[in-house]
Amino acid sequence: MEINWDLLREEAKLAMAKAYAPYSKFPVGAAALTDSGKIISGANVENASYGLGLCAECSLVSELFRQGGGKLVAFACVDGHGNALMPCGRCRQLLFEHRAPGMLLDTVSGIKTIDEVLPDAFGPEDLEIRK
């Protein structure tokens, strides 16, 4: 599947513009290509109770399922200036859960696989193996 990284970054920027970040003033947008060829996106949504805020990756995965599910093939995340962001550890785990084999991420140090940014990850397959 062809990945248009420029388009993914642009979709992430459009999502970032809709972020709700009144407390941190750090809007984040994310976009991903699914295995069905759709592009989905999400933005961070903060909360006055700081710990309850949702990362852009969380809203992206919610959008994935709102649109019928699937697997993530390629992912991009940007800050308020449109610069690439590396997902935090929690969000890497969330992306890993919904990855297509060989999922690619646009990171601050170039294109990497999900396995490179979350080595030795624990995922759904591990639950099946350890039953």
Q: What is the CA radius of gyration of the chain?
A: 14
Catalytic residue among 2, 10, 46, 57: 57
Give the CA distances from residue 100 to residues 4, 11, 16, 75, in Å, rounded to whole numbers and listed in that order: 17, 20, 24, 11
57 is catalytic: yes
- Could you give the CA distance from residue 80 to residue 59 in angstroms, rounded to a whole number? 17
Give the CA distances from residue 67 to residues 15, 39, 77, in Å, rounded to whole numbers and listed in that order: 16, 10, 20
Contact 16, 56 (CB under 8 A): yes
Catalytic residues: 57
